[in-house]
Structure 1
Amino acid sequence: MAQAKVVKLAHEIDPNLKMGSMMAAVQSYPATCNPQDVLENQNYLHINNDFYFEMVCHGEYPQYMLNWFKEKDINLKITSTDLEILKANPVDYLSFSYYTSSIMGKELAEKGSGNIFFGGKNPYLKASEWDWQIDPIGLRVVMNNLYDRYQKPLMIVENGIGVDEKWDDKNNQLNDEYRIDYLKEHLKNLLLAIEDGVECLGYTTWTAIDLISASTKEMSKRYGLIYVDLDDYGQGTGARKIKESGKWFKTIADSNGENFETKLNLKWYLENRH
């Protein structure tokens, strides 16, 4: 409701404003080709992913969610006016974060998990040291699914990898080739999704500069293109230094994608997408 009212207000202030949202895109695959696992994965995605996009795009509670509320004995106090506001104020584009994927099936669901959001581990994927699986192709899958379903432009507003890093004082650098590889593969799949026919407004990595990780409450899980000399206890000089990934990313931005190693031409797309 809060979001729908903000969208409404923004459009009243200026009808030309385009409003998005912020959601964590969940990508999950069936644990096996057993139809029970396929169904369980579908239910998992309904509750943890699809529901949120449905609400901001269509402004209606899907039946599967109403069934889930009833099963959990959740009684939402929604007025007819609320429903009208939700329905009348959808977002103009979908903006979301994407980091990882998982698997889900009947056995995994029955076992349960303290953090069911992440599901099970995919044996075909590598993982970060925080056990987040790295799945660049999953971004392409997510983008195609969202665009096919909602026909709204997309924007990736968070994408990156957290690593415990230390600045190399001897060579005065932080050679984070793994981050360059991570971003390069995700950008490649973003461009492939565009080639598939997806309309994409933009991409921003998480994140420009090291900061405290919201998921683990620590500075040592570093996502930045720029290193910050502070530890988990706030000790350090606070100095900012550009990592090798930051230098690489700058060449991509400065050339408008022309220097990106892919058969696709990001510069042409950005200049001709309208």
Structure 2
Amino acid sequence: MNKEFLWGAALSNVQAEGAYLEDGKGLNVYDTLEIRFETGQNTLSDTSVAADHYHRFKEDIAHMKEMGFTAYRFSIVWSRIHPNGDDGLVNEAGLAYYEEMIDELLAAGIEPVVSLVHFDMPDHLRTEYNGFMDRRVVDWYAGHVAVVAGRFRDKVKYWITYNEMNTAFYGPRLVAGAEKPEGMGDVPFHALLTAHTQLAHAKAVLEIKKTNPDAMVAGMDAYASIYPLTCRPEDVLAAQMADDFRNNLTFDVMVNGEFPSWYTKFLHNNGVELDLNAEDMQTIKEASKRLDYLAFSYYQSDTACAPAGCADRLDFENKMLACADRNANPYVKANAWGWQIDPVGLRVALKALYERYHKPLFIVENGIGIDDRLENGKVYDDERIAYYQGHIRNVTDAIDYDGVEVLGYLAWSPIDFLSSHKEMRKRYGFVYIDRNDDGTGSLERFPKKSYYWYKKVIASDGTDLEDDIEY
């Protein structure tokens, strides 16, 4: 790694903070989210407390400093700054809170990496406007970004406009504050969300650059390397289509400033037009010229196969948009939640992204959910260590053998907190939080075995990955 390589971890504040109506914060789409249970889940945790990161962030940052972090990605909760989102009213207490957090990070020698829109749209914008389905929400978001970027222009260098923007169609309520209107088909819904989230991203890029031209700004995708289930040609084609819809479309527009021909043809064949005018497209083009790097999360790979019973080619494409007929990869293992563990897929992702876009890449989420057990104040999470060993080795290989420019690696996550399905049992952190889904627990922090292992990894700049920690 080069000496500027950034090591650390990341979390989503809306899932960690708690204090969900404290100091002027408004409800957001995560607070009100109604979810379908994941594998083995039978209860929801209360977002009013979560991991109590709101009151304990200094303690949590002290752990990050002890581990040797040089970067930490977190999110500024939209509804903590603009509780309603549509009235221009700014909650100063929210800005002051994040400024104190940023100052604490800088004092610890940790580079803040700030995410905007990370499951935290004000719920008022969802209930009144259907989130990013309404163009007015795009402008209110741009105004929110202007306030946040203006406040922290001298303290934050790295910005991410929109968390996992490519998942808006697949998780619309959480990611975009939207629900598909009754009677609307998948294709027009996808087109409208794609157009408006791209415009929101572009306006955010320009607002941040207007405030600080030297800021490093990125868009972000959730990336999963997609393999054909078999070498049958139809499965290869299906994998290419799935890759385009789920991985490439968002970054194609962000980097090139225009929609790829395959997507505009797909919309045309379905009788759908993008809800964007010439001025909007100019905004998207200008933002593409100002984009500094690409950020992405990577947890697992996926497979694709040709959907059965297609009436014609268009039906084939429409089924691929909806992620039809997905299958587990028989060559990789999975965690308890069925997420496939594929370290080589991260190298595949890095190589594919760098060759396609020629932009520096930043891995801003990578981790594994485990049902960790605290015994006598300790957590032996060798499964997590093994996961990170494989993935970090493949990051190193992508740099050393494929020539990929990687800015840094941020694990998910520094501490335990609620999963996107509001579950505490599915733990990702290096630090165990004594909190259970039923609300019991002291909230005391306990470093896991992986905490000390990752500290050693950072100190060695990724060269010492052996699981030989005395714990």
Shift of 1:253: 1.9
Q: Which has the higher contact order (CA 8 A, sep 6+)?
A: 2
Correspondence for 1:168: 375
Structure 1 counterpart of 2:305, from 88, 94, 105:
105
Shift of 1:166: 1.6
Distance 1:197 1:3, change over 3 A: same
| Alignment partner of 1:92 is 2:297 | no
TM normalised by structure 1 equals 0.88
TM normalised by structure 2 equals 0.52
Matched residue count? 258
Correspondence for 1:209: 415
Correspondence for 2:382: 177
Distance 1:147 1:206, change over 3 A: same
* 3-state SS of 1:139 partner: helix
Distance 1:118 1:211, change over 3 A: farther
How far, CA to CA, are the matches of 1:44 and 1:207 in structure 2? Answer: 28
Percent of residue pairs identical: 39
Shift of 1:108: 6.8
Q: Is the 8 A contact 2:432 2:445 kept in 1?
A: yes
* 3-state SS of 2:408 partner: strand
Q: Is the 8 A contact 2:414 2:431 kept in 1?
A: yes
How far, CA to CA, are the matches of 1:203 and 1:245 in structure 2? Answer: 16
Correspondence for 2:210: 12
Correspondence for 1:272: none
Shift of 1:225: 0.6
Q: CA RMSD in A?
A: 2.2
Correspondence for 2:405: 199
Q: Is the 8 A contact 1:103 1:122 kept in 2?
A: yes
How far, CA to CA, are the matches of 1:34 and 1:257 in structure 2? Answer: 39
- Partner amino acid, structure 1, of 2:299: Y
* 3-state SS of 1:4 partner: helix
Q: Is the 8 A contact 1:102 1:118 kept in 2?
A: no
Shift of 1:88: 1.2
Correspondence for 1:255: 460
- Partner amino acid, structure 2, of 1:96: F
Correspondence for 1:270: none
Q: Is the 8 A contact 2:392 2:462 kept in 1?
A: no
Q: Counterparts of 1:146-165 in structure 2 under 5 Å?
A: 146-165=353-372
Give ranges in structure 2 of 5+ residues lacking alignment: 1-198, 311-315, 467-471
Correspondence for 2:223: 25
Shift of 1:198: 0.1
* 3-state SS of 1:221 partner: coil
How far, CA to CA, are the matches of 1:117 and 1:228 in structure 2? Answer: 38
Q: Is the 8 A contact 2:307 2:325 kept in 1?
A: no
* 3-state SS of 2:411 partner: coil
Give ranges in structure 1 of 5+ residues lacking alignment: 262-274
Any idea what the Cα deviations from partners look like across 1:2-39, whole Å, max 9, x if unmatched?
A: 11112112222222211112210121101111111111
